[in-house]
């Protein structure tokens, strides 16, 4: 029996604006040269642009993932004050690295940075070598981060694609498709490789990111002042903000949790019970936190608090409890509201085993040295400022 021919997958390559060049290589170096010239004339004075040190560029690129430039600048300086070299970072304990990262979020970035530094130092490197194959084996070293470091520090003509440069490339090349789709992403990387400026890949790659951050913005792009306008397919449509297509965002789910800040003692001798999340946790691994758990729709805040107390201390009860306030934060598609309750204990009872790695009754001075997530740090600031 003859097989029916399979219909070709029309989504194997991106949909594009009519009239876009067939081969992106046709636009090089016509596009790359004005982009490099524009960048050298208008680039922002950012600290990681004042160095060719691969380690410092690497730290900046990891910090800049999903974090705004203005936020990163302060962390960048503080982090390098603590860990001025890759060897210093590799030698540091993980808790110190996480504490330095506190507030930046996405802590897996810090753990991967630390682990990769230790791997490189172990194999005799005191900085990141110009070796794409070796760097690809490091934890957290994706293609973008690797190529950004190698092009900026070592001058290798490698392409980059992150949020801003992806938008710029999609608009120049007229990609009317979702760049999150695998085939589109692959095509964009292949096309980006054809456009890299071999004479100055560092300036070219940074120009793409700078253009996306300052001019070719998601909404109301500044086409009239864009150096790539003569070759931009999206600009010619009159509706550049419609490119690229975006996947529909998932709906926000609202979650209530009760958080118990257990304390013991008084005055300068007061201490607090915190738990360390396991190294295998999917979120905030290795960070310390107060006990907390979700509340069901049927729970009152007091019911939820005493349910948590019963789980941790089935044979012991606090002498007093009172509400401290609320802390709200967002995690991907979840909006979480923590109702913070303080529970005072006479002694320092040992909690029942939980999924955490460790627990301890800690002084305020000790808590100050430990890494906490941003919402848990706000909980600590709230309860530690309460008049007792």
Q: Which residues participate in catalysis according to the annotation? A: 61
How many CB atoms neighbour CB 365 within 10 A?
Answer: 8
In three-state secondary structure terms, 337 is: strand
- Environment class of 197 (CB within 10 Å of its CB; exposed 0-12, middle 13-18, buried 19+): buried
- For residues 322 and 238, the answer to whether their CB atoms sit within 8 Å is no
Residue linked to tokens 């009754």: 361
Length of the chain counted residue by residue: 388
Contact (CB, 8 A) for 203 and 32: no
What's the burial of 19, exposed, middle or buried (CB within 10 Å: 0-12/13-18/19+)? exposed
How distant, in Å, are the alpha carbons of 186, 188, 191, 219 from that of 23? 15, 12, 8, 27
Residue among 168, 166, 114, 102 at smallest CA distance from 141 = 114
């Amino acid at each position: 029996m003859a097989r029916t021919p399979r219909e070709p997958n029309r989504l194997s390559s991106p949909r594009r604006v009519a009239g876009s060049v067939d081969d992106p290589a046709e636009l090089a170096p016509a596009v790359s040269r004005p982009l490099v010239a524009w960048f050298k004339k208008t680039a922002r004075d950012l600290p990681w642009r004042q160095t060719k040190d691969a380690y410092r560029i690497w730290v900046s690129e990891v910090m800049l993932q999903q974090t705004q430039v203005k936020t990163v600048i302060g962390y960048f300086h503080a982090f390098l004050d603590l860990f001025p070299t890759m060897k210093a970072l590799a030698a540091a304990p993980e808790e110190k690295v996480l504490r330095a990262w506190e507030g930046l979020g996405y802590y897996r970035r810090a753990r991967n940075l630390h682990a990769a530094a230790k791997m490189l130092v172990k194999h005799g490197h005191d900085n990141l070598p110009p070796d794409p194959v070796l760097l690809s084996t490091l934890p957290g070293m994706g293609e973008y981060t690797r190529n950004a470091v190698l092009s900026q520090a070592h001058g290798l003509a490698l392409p980059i694609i992150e949020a801003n440069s992806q938008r710029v490339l999609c608009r120049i090349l007229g990609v009317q498709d979702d760049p999150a789709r695998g085939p589109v992403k692959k095509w964009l990387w292949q096309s980006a490789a054809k456009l890299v400026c071999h004479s100055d890949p560092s300036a070219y790659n940074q120009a793409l990111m700078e253009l996306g951050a300052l001019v070719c913005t998601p909404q109301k792009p500044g086409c009239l002042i864009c150096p790539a306008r003569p070759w931009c397919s999206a600009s010619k449509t009159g509706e550049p903000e419609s490119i690229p297509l975006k996947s529909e965002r998932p709906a926000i789910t609202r979650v209530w949790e009760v958080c118990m800040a257990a304390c013991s003692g008084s005055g300068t001798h007061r201490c607090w019970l915190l738990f360390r999340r396991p190294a295998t946790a999917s979120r905030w691994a290795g960070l310390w936190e107060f006990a907390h758990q979700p509340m069901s729709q049927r729970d009152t805040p007091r019911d939820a608090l005493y349910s948590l107390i019963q789980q941790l201390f089935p044979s012991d009860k606090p002498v007093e409890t009172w509400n401290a306030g609320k802390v709200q934060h967002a995690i991907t598609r979840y909006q979480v509201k923590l109702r913070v309750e303080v529970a005072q204990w006479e002694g320092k009872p040992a909690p029942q085993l939980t999924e955490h790695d460790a627990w301890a009754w800690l002084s305020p001075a000790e808590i100050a040295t430990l890494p906490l997530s941003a919402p848990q740090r706000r909980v600590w600031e709230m309860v530690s400022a309460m008049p007792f």
